[in-house]
Amino acid sequence: MSKQLSIQGVSRTFESPGGKSTQALLPVDFEVRRNDFVTILGPSGCGKSTLLRIVAGLDAPTGGQVLLDGQAIEGPGADRGMVFQSYTLFPWLNIEQNIRFGLRERGVPESLQRERVDYFIAKVGLRGFEQHYPKQLSGGMQQRTAIARALANDPKILLMDEPFGALDNQTRVQMQELLLGIWEAEQKTVLFVTHDIDEAIFMANRVAVFSARPGRIKSEIAVDLPHPRHYTVKTTPEFMELKARLTEEIRAESMAAAEH
C-alpha cells in the first residue's frame, strides 16, 4: 500500500507571555499508508491532539513538515475531514443542512449534494432525523452527524480527535462499531486520537504509542485482528495480549510524566 500521509520531523514548541517555552512535540517521523486506520494512543497532555491539529492545518509546526499525497500542508483544506470530541455542528442548521454544508460551500451540483447527503444519512443511521436540529439530538446522534458531514465531503483522510470521549460507554461502543463498519465499506484513511486502550486496539490496524510530554512516537504496534470486527473480539486471547502490552507501555509513560 502506498503512503498517503508523511509526517517529517514535525516538532511544536509553545511560547508563553513570560518568555518561557514548552515543548509539546519532539520531532516526529511517521507514515500513514492509504486506507490505513491508525490510532494514536498516549497519556493525557502528551501532544497527540497537537499533532492531529498540525495535520489538519489548524496549527503550524515549529519544525518539520506534513505532506499529504506529496503536497505540503499549509492550512485547513477539504482534503482532510476533522471530527472533534465536542459536537461542532452549526446549531442554526438542521441535520441535513449540517451534512450538506461543505458540499454547498464547494459548489458541488445540487443533485450530487442530495445524493451524498442521503447516502451518509442512511450510513450513520439518521434516516428520519434530517429536519431535526442539533439540540434535539442526543450526543451520539450529534456525533453521527459530524461523521456524516466529514465523510460527505469525500476527504482523502479522516482526522478524529477523541470523537467518542464525551459519550457514555454503551453509546461509545456502538459508535466504534458504526465507524469501523463505515471504514470497512468506504476504505478511507483514518488517523484517530484516543487515550482508551480498548478503543485503540479495536478500531485500528496499527497503534502508534506516544511518550509522555514532550511527545514522540515511541512504538508502533500492528493489530492483525480479522475484519469485519465484532465487539466480541475484545474477549479473545489475541486482543487481551495486545491490551496487556499497550497497558504496560502507557503505564510506563504515565509514571514518567508524573515524575516531571
82: enclosing H helix or E strand: strand 80-83
Q: What is the pLDDT of residue 98?
A: 95
In a domain, 182, yes or no: no
Q: What is the pLDDT of residue 36?
A: 94
Q: Which domain does 28 fall in, by range?
A: 3-73+189-259
In a domain, 107, yes or no: no
Q: What is the pLDDT of residue 20?
A: 82
How many domains are contained in the chain? 1
Q: What is the pLDDT of residue 165?
A: 87
Separation of alpha carbons 107 and 105, rounded Å? 6
CATH of the domain at 36: 3.40.50.300
Residue at grid coordinates 486482543: 239
How do the pLDDT tens digits run along the chain, 260 residues long? 577 899 999 999 988 777 788 888 999 999 999 999 999 998 878 888 999 999 999 999 999 999 999 999 999 988 999 998 776 899 999 999 999 998 998 888 999 999 999 999 998 989 999 999 999 999 889 999 999 999 998 899 999 999 998 888 888 898 899 899 989 888 889 999 998 999 999 999 999 999 888 888 999 999 999 988 888 999 999 999 999 999 998 888 777 666 65
In a domain, 26, yes or no: yes
Buried b (16+ CB within 10 A) or exposed e, 104-133: eeeebeeeebeebbeebbebbebeebeeeb
Q: What is the pLDDT of residue 259?
A: 64
Task: Provide CB contacts within 8 A for 107, sequence distance 6+.
Answer: none
Separation of alpha carbons 57 and 34, rounded Å? 19
In a domain, 177, yes or no: no
pTM for the model stands at 0.91
Q: What is the pLDDT of residue 23?
A: 87
Q: What is the pLDDT of residue 257?
A: 63
In a domain, 169, yes or no: no
User: What's the chain's length in residues?
Assistant: 260
In a domain, 94, yes or no: no
In a domain, 37, yes or no: yes
In a domain, 212, yes or no: yes
Q: What is the pLDDT of residue 194?
A: 92
